[in-house]
Amino acid sequence: MSIQFGIWNFDGQPVDRNCLERVSRATLQYGPDGSSLYKRGAIGMLYRPFHTTKESRLETQPYISSQGNVITWDGRLDNCEELRDLLRNDQQIENTDVAIVMASYDRWGPDCLGKLIGDWACTIWDMLERRLILARDLAGSRHLYYSFDTERLVWSTVLDPFALCVKHPFTLNEEFIAGYLSRW
């Protein structure tokens, strides 16, 4: 599975590029097929691909739509032909899952997420609405973790980056642990 990581500084301060580069180096083992960054003001997104199909090699991520929206996508879109047919009157759409999902978002907004069938996790930065969407399919195996405080939101598909970029200390949730252990 490919790696998605990002930071949104709520105070508008620029994202620290060094943090993104540290995370990129730390996640090389998960996404060995390159690394690409999107950094614009208070938003920074990192994508490290792990190519498993010939189609995935055609993708460029983070993917930026003609409307300026940005997506990172990891997954398999099972109904890409159906979505492409629904979108055929729109602009020319590239033949990759990420491009189809982004075109779906540009057309239907967040409602597009209910139309996606497959195993996936994605992050969408809506430039005009200044809205960040973290989403994954309901029953899939892909993770999308996040941590936030009053200053910023950090998200990733693996836990390693949180040790590098989250400023507040982690604590154990004793209630969660007790609930987990009580099932045994």
Helix, strand, coil % over all residues of the chain, rounded to 5: 30, 30, 40
Domains detected in the chain: 3-182 (3.60.20.10)
Give the pLDDT confidence of 23-58 residue by residue, as tens digits. 999 999 999 999 999 999 999 999 999 988 777 788
Query: What is the per-residue pLDDT for 184?
Result: 64
CA distance 57 to 33: 9
- pLDDT, tens digit, 9 for 90 and up, residues 144-178: 999 988 999 999 999 989 888 777 777 778 888 88
pTM score of the predicted model: 0.88
Buried b (16+ CB within 10 A) or exposed e, 61-92: bbbbbeeebbbbbbbbbeebeebbebbeeeee
Separation of alpha carbons 117 and 137, rounded Å: 8
